[in-house]
Structures are given as C-alpha cells and as structure tokens.
C-alpha cells in the first residue's frame, strides 16, 4: 500500500568504518534518499555495515539498490556487510540477486549520419514505389469498373458525395465569399487611385475563375476530406478491418478507394462552380459599396470581358485536383502502421502533401494553358 512510507537511518562513523542502521520502508519512494546519503559518505570510508533489522518492508527498488551497492563497493575496495534477520527480506534480496546477475539490457547502437541519410533516402524511394503501385491499382480498378460497370458501387459513391461535397457546400461557399470580398476590397483601393474602378470586374473575373476558386476549393477539400480519408482508412487498418475485407474478397480498392476518388472527381467541378459564384458575389458587393459600380453595370461588364474559356479552364482543373487529394489521402491511410501515433503523422502528411500536389498541378496547368493560348 502506498500509505506514507518512511525510512530513517542512524549512522556512526569511526575509523573509516560507517555503520548505518535503517528503520522503516526501503522502497521505490525512499531508496533514492538513502542512495544520496551513502554516496556522499563513500569518499573516506573503507568499511560499510548496513543493518536492515529495523526495516519493515523492502521492494524491488530497495533490493536492487542493495545489490548494486555491493558490486560498486567491491570495485572501490570498500568492504560491505549486511545484517538482516528477517526471512522475507533476505528472500527478496536473494530472488533479485539470482535474476539480475549478468543480465543487463544491451546498449542501443547509435547510427551514424551517413547511415541515417542512406536509410532515409531508401525509405523515401520505397514509399515512392509504393505510391506507384497504388496508382497502378487505382488505374486498374478504374478500367475494371468501366468494363464491368455493374461492379461500380453507386451507393458508396453517393454516400461519399454527400459526406465530402454536399456537406462542404457551406464552408466552401463562405470561404470563397470572404476571399472574394477581401480581394475586391484590397484591389478597389489601388484601382481608385487610377480611376480605373470598372476594371475590378476584369480582375476579379479572371483571377477567381482561372486560379483562385479552384485552388481555394482544393485547399478546403484537402483539409476537410483528405484528412478524413487518411484517418478513416488508417483506423480501419489498425483494427485489421482492411485485412478482414481482403480475406472476404472485398477488394479495398473497389470498396473504399474508388468510391472516394470518383465521388470527389464528380463533385469538385461543382464545388469550384459554387466557389466561382460566391466569390464573384462577394466582389460585386464590394464594388457596389466601395466603388459605386451598380450590380447591372457589373454584370454587363462581366458579360463583355470575361470569356467562357476562363470559367472552363478553372472547372477543368477540378477532377485532377480531386484525384490528387483523394488518392493521397487514401494512400496515406494505407500507410498507417499498427500504432496510434502513425494516424496523426499520416494525416498531417496527407494534408500537406495533397495541398502541395495541387499547387504543383496548378502550375503545370498554367504552363499548358498558356502555351495552348487559352
């Protein structure tokens, strides 16, 4: 029982001989005090007598300390003697001696910098290969599903569409609206200086349609759905649900991965469209209040200068972004190992990597469309 444990010691020192008489409990909570005391006396003694007769209880820590003390003192050529009549305490001391002698936890080897670097590079290379394998499985899954269209899991797809797109309408809409307001407000200030108020329409239309709306939507969805995919699939991996599915012949690619990817690919263009609408709406309000451009003037100008191609450029990025977010999210989920830390680690990685991949993909699109003259 962890009731108040007390250890007191009386000691007498004569002619380099230290006698310590202990009373109380020699346990986890009291040993370190005794250890410090004896250590402080070790310099100038050649003989140590420990009297354990007053000790009422001893535990592993106490017994191990006494045993360690014996071997340390032997090394220092200090003789030690124990006095103890209590059978139970003697038995504890003996039990521990028989176990501990010659059994030590081996030291862990520290790897060198080069070794760490090599291991790191190799692991990254292996992870990349794994992603390629996974990518191949998805592509195979796609073709297989199209060939056997009956195996397409409509119910799961619809479920994922509801979870990851329809429930995200509000957040995507509000975020885009605010970005529209902020962008318009900041540029309104600059445009006023030149008296070029009406160009707010061109600026907003092109930047929102072509770049900002798709990116914004992708970032919100990566944070919302990408992380959810990783956590869901990761938790299923830990509880061996994935293995159970495989043994039952339910291919996780068809049951879990494709529905998520297809759902996002279908819905991403729609979400981008929503983002287009709300962000331009936000800009329109600022144009009215701050620059005095009426709604009908705004819309007239919009109709005049913003070609439909800008809208389609933005929308066309949707499925690609969706594929990247969903496949990275699911892949990271599959990488989760059998421990809880791994879920957090992979979820973070999933969001960071999918946002990064989306931005890289956007840059590639930018180059392609510019070269095509669109």
Partner 1 sequence: MKKIIEVKDLYTQFGDNVVHAGLNLHVNEGDIYGILGPSGCGKSTVLREMVMLQEFQKGKIEVLGYDVANISYDDAQKLRKSWGVLFQGGALFSSLNLYENIALPLQEYTDLDQKLISEIVSYKIDVVGLKQTDAFLYPSQISGGMRKKASLARALSLDPKLLFLDEPTSGLDPISARDFDRLILKLRDMLGLSIVMVSHDLKSIYDTLDRLAVIDDKVVVAEGKMNDVISMDIPFIQTFFKADI
Closest to partner 1 by CB, 14 or 109: 109
Per CB under 8 A, residues contacting partner 1 are: 1-3, 27-29, 31-32, 35, 59-61, 64-65, 68, 95-96, 99-100, 103-106, 108, 337-341
Give 90 or 266: the residue with its C-beta nearer to partner 1: 90
Alpha-carbon torsion (182, 204, 267, 242), positive or negative: negative
Closer residue to partner 1, CB minimum distance, 151 or 239: 239
CB within 8 Å of 272: residues ≥ 6 apart: 213, 214, 217, 314, 315, 317, 318
Please identify, using beta-carbon distances, which residue of 67 and 137 lies nearer to partner 1: 67
To partner 1, the closest distance from the beta carbon of 61 in angstroms equals 6
Cross-strand partners of 71 = none
Least distance from partner 1 to the Cβ atom of residue 75, Å: 14
SS3 (DSSP) at 292: coil
The percent helix, strand, coil of the chain (3-state, each to 5) is 75, 10, 15
CB of 60 to partner 1, least distance (A): 5
Provide the minimum distance between the beta carbon of 118 and partner 1 in the complex, in angstroms, as a whole number: 21
Tell me how far, at minimum, the Cβ of 62 lies from partner 1, in Å.
Answer: 9
Count of alpha carbons within 13 angstroms of residue 250, beta-carbon side: 12
- Token pair of 358 as six digits: 């989306």
- Phi/psi region, residue 175 (left: phi>0; alpha: psi -120 to 50; beta: rest), is alpha
Instruction: For partner 1, give the closer residue by CB, 59 or 156.
Output: 59
Pair of tokens at residue 105: 């936890």
Return the number of the residue (29 or 281) whose C-beta is nearest partner 1: 29
At which residue do the structure tokens 């649900």 appear? 241
Judged by CB, which is closer to partner 1: 17, or 94? 94
Paired residues of 25 in beta bridges:
57
Residue 327: CB atoms within 10 Å: 22
> Is the CB of residue 288 less than 8 Å from the CB of residue 295?
yes
**DSSP 8-state code for residue 195:** T
Q: Which residue, 65 or 312, is less far from partner 1 as judged by CB?
A: 65
Residue 63 CB, nearest distance to partner 1 (Å)?
Answer: 9
Q: Which is nearer to partner 1, 237 or 301 (CB)?
A: 237
Could you tell me the smallest distance in angstroms from the CB atom of residue 345 to partner 1?
10
Kindly provide the residue ranges of all beta strands, DSSP E only, lying in the chain, ordered along the sequence.
7-14, 17-26, 47-58, 79-83
* Minimum separation from the CB atom of position 97 to partner 1 (A): 10
For 215-243, give the DSSP string.
HHHHHHHIIIIIHHHHHHHHHHHHTTHHH
Q: Measure the CA–CA gap between 139 and 317, rounded to whole angstroms.
A: 19
Beta bridge partners, 80, equal 48
Minimum CB separation of residue 328 from partner 1 in Å reads 23
Beta strand pairing status for 7-14 and 17-26? antiparallel
């Amino acid at each position: 029982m962890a009731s108040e444990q007390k250890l007191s010691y009386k000691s007498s020192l004569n002619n380099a001989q230290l006698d310590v008489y202990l009373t109380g409990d020699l346990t986890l909570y009291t040993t370190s005090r005794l250890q410090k005391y004896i250590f402080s006396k070790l310099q100038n003694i050649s003989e140590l007598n420990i009297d354990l007769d007053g000790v009422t209880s001893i535990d592993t820590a106490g017994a191990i300390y006494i045993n360690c003390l014996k071997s340390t003192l032997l090394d220092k050529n200090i003789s030690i003697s124990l006095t103890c009549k209590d059978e139970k305490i003697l038995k504890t001391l003996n039990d521990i001696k028989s176990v501990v002698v010659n059994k030590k936890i081996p030291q862990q080897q520290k790897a060198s910098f080069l070794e760490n670097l090599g291991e790191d590079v190799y692991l990254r290379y292996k992870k990349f290969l794994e992603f390629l394998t996974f990518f191949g499985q998805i592509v195979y899954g796609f073709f297989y599903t199209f060939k056997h269209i009956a195996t397409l899991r409509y119910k799961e797809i619809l479920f994922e569409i509801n979870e990851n797109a329809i429930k995200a309408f509000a957040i995507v809409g509000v975020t885009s609206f605010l970005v529209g307001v902020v962008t318009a407000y900041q540029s309104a200030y600059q445009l006023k200086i030149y008296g070029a108020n009406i160009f707010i329409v061109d600026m907003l239309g092109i930047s929102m349609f072509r770049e900002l709306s798709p990116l914004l939507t992708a970032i919100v969805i990566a944070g919302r759905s990408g992380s959810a995919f990783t956590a869901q699939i990761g938790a299923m991996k830990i509880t061996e649900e994935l293995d159970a599915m495989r043994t039952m012949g339910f291919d996780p690619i068809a049951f879990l991965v494709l529905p998520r990817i297809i759902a996002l690919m279908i819905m991403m263009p729609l979400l981008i469209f929503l983002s287009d609408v709300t962000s331009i709406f936000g800009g329109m309000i600022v144009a009215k209040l701050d620059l005095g451009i009426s709604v009908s003037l705004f819309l007239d100008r919009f109709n005049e200068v913003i070609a439909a191609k800008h809208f389609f450029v933005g929308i066309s990025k949707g499925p690609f972004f969706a594929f990247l977010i969903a496949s990275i999210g699911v892949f990271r989920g599959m990488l989760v190992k059998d421990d809880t830390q791994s879920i957090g680690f992979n979820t973070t990685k999933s969001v960071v990597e999918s946002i990064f991949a989306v931005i890289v993909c956007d840059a590639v699109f930018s180059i392609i469309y510019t070269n095509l003259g669109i």
